[in-house]
Amino acid sequence: MAGYIGTKAVNLSTTGADIAGDADVSGALDVGGGLTVDNDGSTVLTVDRATSDGTIIDLQKSGSSVGSIGVNSSDLMIGTGDTGMRFSDGEDSFVPSTITGNANRDNAIDLGKTSSRFKDLYLSGGVFLGGTGSANKLDDYEEGTAAIYYSDGTTNSSTKTVKYTKIGDLVTITIDLYNLNVSSITGNLSVYGLPYTVNSSSGGRSTLVGSITGNTPVVCQAVNATSHANLYTGTSGGANLGSLVKGDFVSDTQAALHGQLMYRTNS
């Protein structure tokens, strides 16, 4: 069947509709068999809802709606029922929304599910877990390696590669200095090579074990605003803690210390 929409020719048949040139349609247009719209180099189809918010395109299967594309306060809405997404360019955000109620929906829509998960998530900011306050924001998680070593600030031992984890501003590093030669280090021993600079106001302290005469534990104290931790033991300086020196090891050619150090960083 041939006819016109406005001044443009239109051919309607059981297999579809062909419209030559531009066409403006007022009112309802029912097409059986499919509708193909084609244009070269410019907008193919414009669908305009005047005045109010709501559905612009109703998507159906067998005569029943399965979803829609609509508008809410000049924002695009896509979804079905109470599960949808509003594209808010004014807020630079995707907002969980209801399609039937045309409103935002808080704390109700999941991203993926147990048997159908997304893969990687790339973020340049942070994740709010369990709440929306600043205390709930996880802005960094990192796993890596660091090359640590004994030093008195002048002379260094060889290095050992160890693992660390950084969660927010908290760094946890494995101290595994195994059988290193410190015989040429004459000053007080420290652990150098921490992966992040220690916070300027709150460092960290832990206890290490190793090849120390008398099996005395060693205190490892992160030094504020530096990338090293000082070492102390009760075998150097009598009953009180004193700086660890090479003579405190059973053998200064096989100096070993093991444990973990946690400290905070501003990085």
Q: pTM of the prediction?
A: 0.74
Contact 151, 181 (CB under 8 A): no
CA 66 to chain centre: 33
- pLDDT given at position 45: 86
Residue keyed to tokens 């907008």: 43
Half-sphere exposure of 54 (CA within 13 A, CB side): 4
Contacts of 96 (CB under 8 A, 6+ apart): 84, 85, 86, 104, 105, 106, 108, 109
- Give the whole-angstrom CA distance, residue 248 versus residue 218: 10
Burial class (CB within 10 angstroms; exposed 0-12, middle 13-18, buried 19+) of 188: middle
Contacts of 202 (CB under 8 A, 6+ apart): 224, 264
Q: Once rounded to an integer, what is the mean pLDDT over residues 192-218?
A: 91
Within 10 Å of residue 130's Cβ, how many Cβ atoms? 8
Range of 34-48, 137-151, 232-246 with top mean pLDDT = 137-151
Pairwise pLDDT comparison (11 vs 137), residue with the higher score: 137
- The structural domains of the chain, ordered by start, are 52-122 (no CATH), 141-264 (2.60.90)
Q: Examine the pLDDT at 56 and tell me if it is beyond 90.
A: yes
- pLDDT given at position 238: 44
- Of the pLDDT bands very low, low, confident and very high (cuts 50, 70, 90), residue 236 is very low
Q: Once rounded to an integer, what is the mean pLDDT over residues 167-192?
A: 96
Contact 97, 103 (CB under 8 A): yes
Residues 141-152 pLDDT 10s: 999 999 999 999
- Give the whole-angstrom CA distance, residue 76 versus residue 16: 29
- Give the whole-angstrom CA distance, residue 20 versus residue 27: 19
Residues 66-125 pLDDT 10s: 999 999 989 999 999 999 999 999 999 999 999 988 889 999 999 999 999 999 999 999
Pairwise pLDDT comparison (5 vs 165), residue with the higher score: 165
Q: Examine the pLDDT at 202 and tell me if it is beyond 50.
A: yes
Tokens coding 39:
């244009």
> Helix or strand or coil: residue 246?
helix
Q: Examine the pLDDT at 205 and tell me if it is beyond 50.
A: yes
Q: What 8-state DSSP symbol labels residue 166? A: E
Q: In what order do the strands lie in the sheet with 2-5?
A: 2-5, 8-13, 16-19
Mean pLDDT over each residue of the chain, to the nearest integer? 88
Q: In the chain, what percentage of residues exceed pLDDT 70?
A: 86
